Amino acid sequence: MLLAACGESSSDKEPGGEYELGVSSASFPTLQRLGQTSLLRLSFVNEGEKEVPNLVVTFSLAGRQGATSWLPFGVHEPQVGLANPTRPVWVLAEHFPKLAGSTAKGGATTSDPKTFAFGPLKPGQKIAAVFKLSAVRQGHYALHYTVGAGLSGEATAKTASGVTPGGTFIAAITAATPNTEVTDSGEIVEIPAAGR
């Protein structure tokens, strides 16, 4: 399945209506370090009897700083006089997000930087998306995501219980450096917490 093209023209009419979508699994490490790259994984399933026009996911960090940021994984600094008040918390790797197991270049960008589109989803179909994120700002964060059925606003997504699908990841980013050792083969590896 190919990822949706960037944005949507005014001539591209998505069918409206309500569509049943579920998030079957969601994972993102709760403890991360500055400079560490982690995978955010989301799996979706079309639980209804109609094809979802365009599966979309929108991200925003909690709070006013996250809501006013134009970055999906960033915050808006309230400090006066900053040339660019938007600061990333995580940086999304090039060619991501992509569908799990796909070797094709990803992206799935839309005209809204906080929203990613993955194309139509047939009844019963399941897909998994992978976001490769590097932590660049220390702190504790709540990252919200919501799942939709289209970009135009005419198509809405609901779970089988009637609520908008989505969730929140809680993550702490620390400046602590990992405890590492050099193996007999010369490779540098992190020592697991239990072995410290």
Token readout for 159 is 């779970």
Mean pLDDT for 67-87 is 79
Q: How confident is the model at residue 82 (pLDDT cuts 50, 70, 90)?
A: low
Q: Is pLDDT above 90 for 144? A: yes
- 122 pLDDT exceeds 90? yes
Please give the pLDDT value at position 62.
93
Per DSSP, 171 falls in state E
184/187 Cα distance (integer angstroms) = 7
pLDDT at 108 over 60: yes
Look up the pTM and report it. Answer: 0.81
pLDDT for the residue numbered 10: 40
Residue where the block lists tokens 């399945």 = 1
pLDDT at 11 over 80: no
Higher pLDDT, 192 or 115: 115
pLDDT of residue 64 exceeding 70:
yes
Mean pLDDT of the chain: 86
Domains and CATH numbers, the chain: 17-195 (2.60.40.10)
Handedness of CA 103, 104, 105, 107 (dihedral sign): negative
Is 41:167 a contact under the CB 8 Å cutoff?
A: no
Pairing of strands 86-88, 17-27: unpaired
Backbone angles phi, psi at 182, to 5 degrees: -100, 125
For residues 97 and 131, the answer to whether their CB atoms sit within 8 Å is: yes
**pLDDT for residue 196:** 43
CA–CA dist 68, 172 (Å, integer): 21
